[in-house]
Copies of this chain bind each other. A is one copy, B any other.
Amino acid sequence: MSTTISPLSAHRNTSNGIADIRDLTRGQPIESLDAGEALAWQGDKATDIFEICGGALRLCRILPDGRRAILRFVFAGEFLGLAEGEDFPWTAEAINPVTFRRLRRSRFAAAVEQSPALNRAHVALICEELSAAHEQMILLGRKNAEERVASFLVAMMRRAGLDDVSGDVFDLPMTRLDMADYLGLTIETVSRIMSKLSRQGLIAARGRHQICGRNAGALRAIAEVDEEMCARPLMRRAA
């Protein structure tokens, strides 16, 4: 079985000690956010970290001329703000109604100082984020539009737990524009490719925000241009 970490699944709770971090937030009150509201703004002092309990967010940066890039989607069960410096380098907006818990960074830092296990969990989560970012750099730098959309759909299927199943339905809570800004495409290109994949029978739309996977294998074949096994160079370094 492949251990490749795909952009979206990377943030999920694998067995990396995430439970230790969640213990810290357990006591905190649950707050909530309407769709479209921001949890934090780019440039804000990063005084808190967040555990997302329900819903989904997009982390975005806006260029001066209006271009927008989405750096990551954050889903229920994931954390936000673990890897930030003084200020948040993005604006975090709710895609749909979001519930979350908040923890003071100072408290988190103190707890990490006390517990090597917690510390390892913290580092592991940041490393997974970096790994996901690298995967996304490959997608943005070297994959074409069809491969990008397919990769995204496969990642969304995986995080819904539908790795190899066809015929199951999974959610796509974000808009086509969100997808476009995450994949480095325009909304029209995303739309055209979704239509093409439907026409080819790889997926079937169930309204705007649900997809029925029809041929997961074919989708993966388009997406996973980047399998580990193929990446090993031909000869090894001397000594």
Interface residues of A (CB under 8 A from B): 3, 37-39, 41-43, 61-65, 67-69, 71, 83-86, 89-91, 113, 116, 119, 122-123, 126-127, 129-131, 133-134, 136-138, 140-142, 181-184, 225-228, 230-233, 236-238
Contact = CB atoms under 8 A, between A and B. Distances in A.
Contact of A64 (B39, B90, B127, B227): B227
Majority secondary structure, A binding face: mixed
A68 B233 CA distance: 11
Instruction: Give the residue among A65, A69, A140, A141 with the most B Cβ atoms within 10 A.
Output: A141
Given A85-B127, A127-B84, A133-B134, A63 B141 contact: no
B62 A231 contact: yes
Contacts of A230: 62-64
B130 A137 contact: no
The quantity of this chain's copies bound in the complex is: 2
Given A43-B231, A232-B42, A226 B64 contact: yes
A92 to B, nearest CB: 10
Given A43-B232, A69-B137, A119-B119, A142 B226 contact: no
Contacts of A64: 225-227, 230-231
A137 B140 contact: yes
Contacts of A232: 41-43
29 contacts: A37-B238, A38-B237, A42-B228, A42-B231, A42-B233, A43-B231, A43-B232, A61-B134, A63-B226, A63-B230, A64-B225, A64-B226, A64-B231, A65-B225, A69-B142, A71-B134, A71-B137, A71-B138, A85-B131, A89-B134, A123-B126, A126-B127, A126-B130, A133-B133, A136-B137, A137-B140, A141-B183, A142-B181, A142-B184
Given A67-B225, A113-B116, A116-B113, A231 B61 contact: yes
Contacts of A238: 37
The 5 A-B residue pairs with the shortest CB-CB distance in the complex, in nearest-first order = A141-B184, A64-B230, A140-B140, A133-B133, A38-B237
